[in-house]
């Protein structure tokens, strides 16, 4: 692309033509999405749940959260006038008295003008008489809501579709707080893409009989409200999106209390829904069925910020990385198994196949446990390769056979970035992953790996590939560069590595 102008000049030009709200500027500076979280009144314990939501959002590294607390019940609300336009997205944990007319107008203008809005749990109980708000949330409950406010919206199993039911009746109910299965009804939406088709939420209130205008509303997931626990016997909407003017709204009915917010289902859908409402896309790593489980609810303490940080790709340009390869010779490395050859050439380690050899490995003399690893690799077509992590070679195991988790390397389309359990007979640890073309054949490919506790994540050329939790793999061992054995009368093939660095984690 030809260079037209400096980024700053370009930005100024753009600003002259399209006056961005200042939130976009903030987000550009910090590369984070700016969130305004609103609370101050709620029939729920907002003093507990607001900090949890802040942890859940900020913990994943993608959001900056500010909090606007409205005056308490019975106090005058004129002073409550947040600068909505300073933010990419507003998240409501508010269920209480009406805001001032000016604040309502500013909020409508913000969302209609393209701002994001997220309604969490009892926020959809609020403002039964504010028409625009009810169109934003699509559906609401309690507060005198009835057929005058709009239809009930349910998934009907016999019709295999979402239906609108205008029969008279109150809006809003829930049964006992129990764990429940969430069923994704649209797996193509950015918020649900890559998530399992069903997963359990922790014990929470499953809202039923919500009603409202439901215009431009799209149901992403439903849950069966079981009569046995006081529910409606209907598949009730749990996650919805609404288009309001130019603005995107995400509505989650989950999140009654701290226990509900410890549910990974609540956390993941909130993180993804807030990103989508703010940007129209979701770049977070999807979490698959090995973690977001369908038999029991997966739990995660929102206070464990580190787990959240793990969702983001490590920055290979930041501080703390240690070079494993000096670019001149193989000091610090030793060969195990196999007779493939390894040589150093132009700052690269070049591995070359040998006829009749089993898999060969050039291994670090040091062991690594919890770490981030990065390298570049360029692999001949036809040669399978990989990088061992946390691997072992012991005389009493298969004659010193190298074994442990391997980050797969091969030409596209293929399994590059998948995790394979080398030498153990367990096969693939990454069971399925839609991305098969992140690797660029014939070019240098940047791999990034994070291994921490039971969890291993990989990225190939910035694209998230694997995110596995595997308690059975070894947790500490060497890093090893594999040259795979080859069939007779093929090859020789070569694979090249460079810029191999590690950053140890606690
Ligand atoms: Zn509740």
- How would you write the pLDDT of the chain (506 residues) with one tens digit per residue? 333 334 444 444 444 444 444 444 444 445 789 999 999 999 999 999 999 999 999 888 789 999 999 999 999 999 999 999 999 999 999 999 999 999 999 999 999 999 999 999 999 999 999 999 999 999 999 999 999 999 999 999 999 999 999 999 999 999 999 999 999 999 999 999 989 999 999 999 999 999 999 999 999 999 999 999 999 999 999 999 999 999 999 999 999 999 999 999 999 999 999 999 999 998 777 777 777 889 999 998 887 644 444 566 788 888 899 999 999 999 999 999 999 999 999 999 999 999 989 999 999 999 999 999 999 999 999 899 999 999 999 999 999 999 999 999 999 999 999 999 999 999 999 876 667 888 999 999 999 999 999 999 999 987 788 888 888 999 999 999 999 999 888 889 999 999 999 999 98
Q: State how far the alpha carbon of 396 is from the alpha carbons of 67, 238, 400, 423, 500, in Å.
A: 58, 54, 7, 14, 30
* HSE of 95, CA atoms in CB hemisphere, 13 A: 23
Gap from CA of 472 to ligand 1 centroid (Å)? 39
Find the helix or strand (DSSP H, E) in which 361 lies. Answer: strand 360-364
Task: Tell me the domains of the chain and their CATH numbers.
Answer: 32-74+83-302 (3.40.50.880), 322-504 (2.60.120.560)
- 266 alpha carbon to ligand 1 midpoint, in Å? 14
**Å from CA of 260 to ligand 1 middle:** 10
Å from CA of 494 to ligand 1 middle: 61
Beta-bridged to residue 378, according to DSSP, are 496
Distance from the alpha carbon of residue 174 to the mean position of ligand 1, in angstroms:
8
Q: In sequence order, which residues have a C-beta less than 8 Å from that of residue 377 and are 6 or more positions away? A: 385, 387, 409, 444, 445, 447, 495, 496, 497
410 CA from centroid of ligand 1 (Å): 50
In terms of DSSP bridges, do strands 322-323 and 494-504 run parallel, antiparallel, or are they unpaired? Answer: antiparallel
How far apart are the CA of 40 and the centre of ligand 1, in A? 16
The Å distance, Cα 42 to ligand 1 centre, comes to 10
Q: How far is the CA of 43 from the centre of ligand 1 (A)?
A: 8
169 Cβ contact list (under 8 Å, min separation 6): 146, 147, 152, 209
Interval between CA 291 and ligand 1 midpoint (Å): 26
pTM for this prediction: 0.64
The beta strands (E) that lie in 114-176 are given as 116-120, 152-156, 161-165, 173-174
CA 222 – CA 201 distance, rounded (Å): 11
The rounded Å distance from CA 340 to ligand 1 centre is 63
* Rounded distance between C-alpha atoms, residue 295 and residue 199, angstroms: 8
261 alpha carbon to ligand 1 midpoint, in Å? 12
DSSP count for the chain of H helices, then E strands = 8, 28
- CA 41 to ligand 1 center in whole angstroms: 13
> What residues contact residue 474 under an 8 Å CB cut-off, 6+ apart?
390, 391, 392, 403, 404, 405
User: Distance, CA 237 to ligand 1 centroid (Å)?
Assistant: 15
CA distances from 14 to 9, 140, 203, 279 (A): 9, 39, 48, 18
475 closest CA partner among 363, 391, 364: 391
Tell me, in angstroms, the distance from the centre of ligand 1 to residue 47's CA.
14
H-state helical runs in 280-322 = 305-309
> What spacing in Å lies between the alpha carbon of 175 and ligand 1's midpoint?
10
Determine the distance separating the centroid of ligand 1 and the alpha carbon of 122, expressed in angstroms: 6
- Rounded distance, CA 136 to CA 111, Å? 8
């Amino acid at each position: 692309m030809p260079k037209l102008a400096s980024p700053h000049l370009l930005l100024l030009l753009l600003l002259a033509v399209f006056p961005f709200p200042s939130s976009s500027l903030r987000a550009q500076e910090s590369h984070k999405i700016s969130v305004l979280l609103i609370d101050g009144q709620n029939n729920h314990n907002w003093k507990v749940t607001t900090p949890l939501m802040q942890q859940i959002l900020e913990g994943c590294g993608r959001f900056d959260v500010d909090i606007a607390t409205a005056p308490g019940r019975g106090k005058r609300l004129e002073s409550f006038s947040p600068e909505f336009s300073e933010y990419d997205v507003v998240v409501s944990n508010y269920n209480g008295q009406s805001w001032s007319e000016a604040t309502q107008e500013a909020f409508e203008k913000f969302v209609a003008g393209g701002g994001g809005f997220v309604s969490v749990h009892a926020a959809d109980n609020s403002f039964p008489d504010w028409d625009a708000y009810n169109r934003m949330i699509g559906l609401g409950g309690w507060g005198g809501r009835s057929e005058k406010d709009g239809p009930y919206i349910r998934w009907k199993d016999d019709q295999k579709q979402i239906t609108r039911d205008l029969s008279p009746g109150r809006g809003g109910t829930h049964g006992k707080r129990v764990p429940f299965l969430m069923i994704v009804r649209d797996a193509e939406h950015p918020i649900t893409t890559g998530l399992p088709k069903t997963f359990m939420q922790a014990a929470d209130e499953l809202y039923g009989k919500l009603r409202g205008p439901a215009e431009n509303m799209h149901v992403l997931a439903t849950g069966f409200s079981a009569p046995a626990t006081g529910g409606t016997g209907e598949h009730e909407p749990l996650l919805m999106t609404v288009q309001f003017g130019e603005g995107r709204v995400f509505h989650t009915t989950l999140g009654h209390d701290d226990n509900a917010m410890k549910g990974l289902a609540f956390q993941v859908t909130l993180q993804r829904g807030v990103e989508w409402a703010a940007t129209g896309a979701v770049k977070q790593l999807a979490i698959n069925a090995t973690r977001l489980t369908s038999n029991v609810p997966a739990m995660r303490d929102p206070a464990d910020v580190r787990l959240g940080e793990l969702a983001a790709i490590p920055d290979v340009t930041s501080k703390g990385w240690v070079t494993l390869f000096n670019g001149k010779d193989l000091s610090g490395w030793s060969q195990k198994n196999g007779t493939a050859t390894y040589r150093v050439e132009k700052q690269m380690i070049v591995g070359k196949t040998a006829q009749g050899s089993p898999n060969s490995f050039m291994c670090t003399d040091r062991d690594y446990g919890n770490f981030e690893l990065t390298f570049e690799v360029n692999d001949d077509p036809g040669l399978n390769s990989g990088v061992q992590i946390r691997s072992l070679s012991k005389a009493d195991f298969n004659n010193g056979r190298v074994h442990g988790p391997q980050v797969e390397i091969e030409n596209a389309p293929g399994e590059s970035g998948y995790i394979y359990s080398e030498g153990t007979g367990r096969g693939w640890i990454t069971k399925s992953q839609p991305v098969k073309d992140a690797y660029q054949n014939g070019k240098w490919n940047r791999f990034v790996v994070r291994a921490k506790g039971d969890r291993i994540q990989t990225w190939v050329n910035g694209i998230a590939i694997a995110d596995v939790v595997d308690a059975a793999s070894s947790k500490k061992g060497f890093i090893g560069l594999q040259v795979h054995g080859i069939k007779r009368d093929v090859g020789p093939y070569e694979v090249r590595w460079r810029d191999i660095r590690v950053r140890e984690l606690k």
